[in-house]
Amino acid sequence: MKALMFGWEFPPHILGGLGTASYGLTKGMWECGDMDITFVIPRPYGDEERHFANIVGMSQVPIAWRDVSRGYVEQRIGNLMSPDLYFALRDHIYADFNYMNTNDLGCLEFSGRYPDNLIEEINNYSICAGVVARTIECDVIHSHDWLTYPAGIHAKKVTGKPLVIHVHATDFDRSRGNVNPTVFGIEKDGMDNADHIITVSDLTRETVITKYGINPAKVTTVHNAVTPLSEELLNVEVTRPKEKVVTFLGRITMQKGPEYFVEAAAKVLKNNRNVRFVMAGSGDMMDKMITLAAERGIADRFHFPGFQKGKQVYEMLKASDVYVMPSVSEPFGISPLEAMQMGVPSIISKQSGCAEILTNVIKTDYWDIDAMADAINAIITYPALYNQLRRDGLDEVNRITWDKAGQKVIDIYRKVINNR
Amino acid sequence: MKAICFYFQIHQPFRLKRYRFFDIGNDHYYYDDFLNDEIVSRIAARSYIPAAETLLRMIEQTGGKFRCALSVTGTALEQFEQYVPEFIDLLKKLADTGKVEFLAETYAHSLVSLTDQDEFAAQVKAHDEKIMQLFGVKPKVLRNTELIFCDDMAGLIYGMGYKGCITEGAKHILGWKSPNYVYASAGCPKLKLLLKNSKLSDDIAFRFSNTEWDSYPLTADKYIGWIADTPAEEQIVNLFMNLETFGELHPQQTGIFQFLEALPRFAAERGIEFWTPSEAIGKLKPVAELSVLHPISWADEARDTSAWLGNELQNEAFRKLYSVAERVRLAEDRRLKQDWNYLQASDHFFYMSTKHMADGDVHSHFSPYETPFQAFTNYMNVLADFIVRVEEQYPLSIENEELNALLTTIRNQAREIEMLNKEAASMRLDIEHLNEEHRLRKPEGEEKAKADKKPAAAKRKTSKTKKA
């Protein structure tokens, strides 16, 4: 079966959970066998893992004819795309886009991030998708998150193949209810045009059905999974402080509930000074949190090391005794699973999607700082609880693999293809 | 000739309230009175009271041919006294018929038999006293918490004066043997064992209202038929279950009470009698010795103690709790002793079971907590406060042995003082005697001279000597 996937992020250059999930799912589906996947991203760097999927970068897709030699293409973008594919794509340019800001190869530039002109970039992505869909044969189209819904719809119109969209988050999660009308419009359009919708948790499924008014019959939950960590990451070496370390790791934004973490920390520190709290990450609420920690008089025990990337994340986890994710609204939340992989007991909010599949974690309401403080204190005070959560958590998370999620997605593909 | 031996368990723990770590050292009251009241009253209204009334009617209607045994824990009795005293009255009525036997068990439904024999004996004694005080009977057969039993306990149980013990007819213990006989314990052959017939007990306790069960609906006629069809030489069928089976696990509208009430009539038709455990033990001889090397119980598929001590959380809590056992025994603070009892209830450990992933539906059904981790955290916080209080009485910095030595010294000194006192008393007595004799002797000499003069005085003196 041939699948054409539209995504925005892909490891190793990722900004959030979307890239990790896209990678894991694609690889998991490939492991199930008999899958030929083309994964389209805005801007590849050339160091992506490519053995299980054909990675196509939109920034190498021509939308305006340029008379270039094979040698020139090879030299310009050879590390990112084969010249054969470039010329095949060039043969499928469907309109004159010379008025746009194209480069020497007739391609558009993409940042591949979340810039201020994001809506424009989404639009450009959709224009390129028309060329890709005309060139690369497929049985099904799969769009990851709202940024690529317009591209998916475009591809569907061009090819007539069924469209599956994958909802990794909705704007209701990101904004605590104050949705951006433009974003909502794009999301709603994507959902209406999709033949089937995959959500990452029942929580998200519920949002899609109630807030976007989608027929429940075409919404299915496929929970995310985790990719096993390499030996190198599992065995990173860190020097641990003599105090216990409690960690929050993620964007410091409204969605992630950082203020509840600070309040819980203040409660714990009142009775137990032998703990350090770490809030790693960056975001628009960071300054506010620094102020709050100072107001509570715990700044000496509360640390802000800033944004962590790559190996640093695992070093941070390795040095932790407790991982806390107090998200107010989390469609899935892959980070507690990563903490569990590193053997760190986790406390997660009941308002997160991963709470639906995890049992060896402590779940509290995000607003219940008493319960959260109590749970933190219990894990650092009672070794039996720490060991139990650590051991059983590791067992549990190792059983949550992407091939199972991949199989579910493949079954959905079969269904939509047969329904045609 | 066959008989059915019914025994119903009644137990309610004192459930703990939500107790946060910042309460440690500040709040010494641990129980959720509201929840306990709510649960105990509800179960009493739905199950205990109608069930007890049914039993009473059955005894009256059969003219005392129906009989059974009840085991009620001390913590349950205390809560009935507080929340549903009318149920205590009903239990008294049942006791007064003389057809209901009350069994011995630990006061607080504890797991102490697995760790501390002296404490076990003390708790069973405390329970016996409570039963004696309320119902005026002395239990003769022991039922340990959750039917936990192993060979090591047999000698102790017999030594405490119980002729028999009730336990589970676990498959891995019985092998090819049938539970429908009286056995003797290999640990102490004089102690007789009554084994639960799991299949027939669970037909009532778990399957009665299950519409997917191939024997549904279960009628009294059919059920007695199954018992009558067991081999003729098997004389006793032990049906042990919780009293909540009637009305709570199977609601009243399933017809469970009518089923129960109809049993004696069909039993009489097939010539089946009802015996209490004491009667069964008195009438039947053990057919063989049964060896139980590792503790068994009636819980879960494994029928072992893994429901309470199956994971690290449970073992840690258990260890911590009993690490202060010796100190609490030395203490005299009544509230401390009361909390000590309540905290030992096996239920607290049951809530911490992580088996819910597999077969632990039962665990989460009974638990007031959402997860075993919450159960553990809450319990450990309470225990931490309790230990602080124990420590206030006897600092933990003093080693147990040292403390023991000190206490022994004190006790020895007390004994010594007592002995010295006694000695002093007897010496004083001796002196008095001597004085007396001396005085008597003196007047003897004088008497001869003054006998005629003062007879009254002499009389007074002789009466004094008599008194001394």
- Binned at pLDDT 50, 70 and 90, residue B361 comes out as low
Q: For residue range A259-299, what is the model confidence (pLDDT) as tens digits? A: 999 999 999 999 999 999 999 998 899 999 999 999 999 99
Tell me whether residues A378 and B313 touch, CB distance under 8 A: no
A282 to each of A11, A277, B241, B402, how far by Cα in Å?
20, 16, 59, 56
Which residues on chain B are in Cβ contact (under 8 Å) with A394? Answer: none
Tell me whether residues A271 and B21 touch, CB distance under 8 A: yes
Q: What is the pLDDT of residue B435?
A: 87
Of the candidates B91, B71, B69, B70, which has an alpha carbon nearest to the alpha carbon of residue B80? B91
Q: How far is B186 from chain A (nearest CA, A)?
A: 36
Tell me whether residues A373 and B315 touch, CB distance under 8 A: no
A400 touches chain B (CB under 8 A): no
Task: Tell me which residue in A363, A370, A388 faces B313 most closely, judged by beta carbons.
Answer: A388
Q: For residue range B408-452, what is the model confidence (pLDDT) as tens digits? A: 888 888 888 988 999 999 888 888 888 888 887 776 555 555 555
Q: Does residue A194 share a domain with residue A121? A: yes
Q: Does residue A209 share a domain with residue A138? A: yes
Residues of B catalogued as catalytic: 146
Question: What distance in Å separates the CA atoms of residue A22 and residue A166, rounded to the nearest whole number?
Answer: 10
Mean pLDDT of all residues belonging to chain B: 89
Tell me whether residues A389 and B21 touch, CB distance under 8 A: no
With an 8 Å Cβ cutoff, the interface of chain B facing chain A consists of 20-22, 24, 311-313, 315-317, 354, 356-357, 370-371, 373-374, 376-377, 380-381
- Binned at pLDDT 50, 70 and 90, residue B358 comes out as very low
Q: Does residue A26 share a domain with residue A139? A: yes
Mean pLDDT of all residues belonging to chain A: 93
Residue B296, beta-bridge partner list: B149
Q: What is the pLDDT of residue B396?
A: 66
Q: For residue range B368-378, what is the model confidence (pLDDT) as tens digits? A: 888 899 999 99
Domain hosting residue A379, numbered range = 231-398
Question: What distance in Å separates the CA atoms of residue A248 and residue A263, rounded to the nearest whole number?
Answer: 13
Q: Can you give the CATH number for the domain in which A255 is found? A: 3.40.50.2000
Question: What distance in Å separates the CA atoms of residue A161 and residue A184, rounded to the nearest whole number?
Answer: 25
Question: What distance in Å separates the CA atoms of residue A371 and residue A285, rounded to the nearest whole number?
Answer: 23
Q: Does residue A200 share a domain with residue A105? A: yes
Task: Tell me which residue in A270, A381, A384 faces B312 most closely, judged by beta carbons.
Answer: A384
Tell me whether residues A385 and B381 touch, CB distance under 8 A: no
Q: Does residue A172 share a domain with residue A281? A: no
Which residues on chain B are in Cβ contact (under 8 Å) with A377? Answer: 21
- Whether this model's pTM surpasses 0.80: yes
Spell out the domain ranges in chain B: 2-306, 312-400, 418-467
Q: Does residue A240 share a domain with residue A220? A: no
Closest-CA residue of B relative to A385 is: B313
Tell me whether residues B377 and A375 touch, CB distance under 8 A: yes
Q: How far is B322 from chain A (nearest CA, A)?
A: 16
Q: Does residue A409 share a domain with residue A394? A: no
**B19, B22, B355, B381: best to mutate for the A interface, most A CBs within 10 A:** B22
- Side by side, the strands of the sheet bearing A36-41 are A54-57, A36-41, A2-6, A140-144, A163-167, A196-199, A219-221
- Binned at pLDDT 50, 70 and 90, residue B468 comes out as very low
Q: Which residues have C-beta within 8 Å of that of residue A313, sequence separation ≥ 6?
A: A249, A338
Which residues on chain B are in Cβ contact (under 8 Å) with A271? Answer: 21-22, 24
Average pLDDT over residues B385-404: 81
The answer for A 339-378 residues in CB contact with B (under 8 A) is 359-360, 362-363, 370, 373-375, 377-378
DSSP-derived 3-state class of residue A275: strand
Closest-CA residue of A relative to B354 is: A360
- CB A281, CB A251: distance < 8 Å: yes
**B377, B379, B382: best to mutate for the A interface, most A CBs within 10 A:** B377
Tell me whether residues B376 and A389 touch, CB distance under 8 A: no
| β-strands B182-185, B188-196 pairing | antiparallel
Q: How far is B311 from chain A (nearest CA, A)?
A: 8
- CB A145, CB A18: distance < 8 Å: yes
**How far is C-alpha B450 from the geometric centre of its chain's CA atoms?**
73
Helices (H) and strands (E) in chain A, counts: 16, 13
Question: What distance in Å separates the CA atoms of residue A279 and residue A396, rounded to the nearest whole number?
Answer: 26
Tell me whether residues B317 and A388 touch, CB distance under 8 A: no
Cα three-residue angle B374-B377-B378, rounded to 5 degrees: 85
**What angle in degrees, to the nearest 10, is found between the helix axes of A383-398 and B312-323?**
170
Tell me whether residues A374 and B373 touch, CB distance under 8 A: no
Whether pLDDT at B455 is above 60: no
Closest-CA residue of A relative to B377 is: A378
Whether pLDDT at B360 is above 50: no
Q: What is the pLDDT of residue B467?
A: 47
Of the candidates B80, B64, B61, which has an alpha carbon nearest to the alpha carbon of residue B72? B80
Tell me whether residues B357 and A385 touch, CB distance under 8 A: no
- CB B66, CB B59: distance < 8 Å: yes
Tell me whether residues B315 and A370 touch, CB distance under 8 A: no
Of the candidates B352, B362, B366, B340, which has an alpha carbon nearest to the alpha carbon of residue B108? B340
- Token look-up 């989390």 returns A330
Average pLDDT over residues B216-227: 94
Q: Does residue A346 share a domain with residue A268? A: yes
Closest-CA residue of B relative to A372 is: B20
Tell me whether residues B370 and A363 touch, CB distance under 8 A: yes
A383 touches chain B (CB under 8 A): yes
Which residues on chain B are in Cβ contact (under 8 Å) with A375? Answer: 373, 377
Q: Does residue A413 share a domain with residue A380? A: no
Whether pLDDT at B461 is above 60: no
Whether pLDDT at B456 is above 70: no
Q: How far is A300 from chain B (nearest CA, A)?
A: 21
Higher pLDDT, B393 or B251: B251
Average pLDDT over residues A175-180: 84
Task: Tell me which residue in B21, B311, B374 faces A388 most closely, judged by beta carbons.
Answer: B311
**B312, B320, B356: best to mutate for the A interface, most A CBs within 10 A:** B312
Tell me whether residues B22 and A382 touch, CB distance under 8 A: no
Tell me whether residues B373 and A362 touch, CB distance under 8 A: yes
Q: Does residue A297 share a domain with residue A315? A: yes
The answer for A 234-273 residues in CB contact with B (under 8 A) is 267, 270-271
Of the candidates A377, A360, A384, which has an alpha carbon nearest to the alpha carbon of residue B318? A384
Positions of E strands within A31-159: 36-41, 54-57, 140-144
Which residues on chain A are in Cβ contact (under 8 Å) with B370? Answer: 363
Whether pLDDT at A367 is above 70: yes
Q: How far is B354 from chain A (nearest CA, A)?
A: 9
Q: What is the pLDDT of residue B277?
A: 96
Q: How far is A16 from chain B (nearest CA, A)?
A: 30
Q: How far is A293 from chain B (nearest CA, A)?
A: 20
Tell me whether residues A378 and B381 touch, CB distance under 8 A: yes
- CB B160, CB B113: distance < 8 Å: no
Domain spanning B2-306, CATH class: alpha beta
Q: Does residue A313 share a domain with residue A297? A: yes
Q: For residue range B128-166, what is the model confidence (pLDDT) as tens digits? A: 999 999 999 999 999 999 999 999 999 999 999 999 999
Q: For residue range A283-292, what is the model confidence (pLDDT) as tens digits? A: 899 999 999 9
- Looking at the structure of chain A, the number of domains it has is 2
Tell me whether residues A389 and B373 touch, CB distance under 8 A: yes
Q: How far is B34 from chain A (nearest CA, A)?
A: 20
**B321, B373, B378, B388: best to mutate for the A interface, most A CBs within 10 A:** B373
Q: For residue range A104-152, what is the model confidence (pLDDT) as tens digits? A: 999 999 988 888 899 999 999 999 999 999 999 999 999 999 999 999 9
Q: How far is A362 from chain B (nearest CA, A)?
A: 7
- Quote the percentage of chain A above a pLDDT of 90: 81
Q: Does residue A209 share a domain with residue A288? A: no
How many residues are present in chain B? 468
Q: What is the pLDDT of residue B359?
A: 45
Which residues on chain B are in Cβ contact (under 8 Å) with A378? Answer: 21, 373, 376-377, 380-381
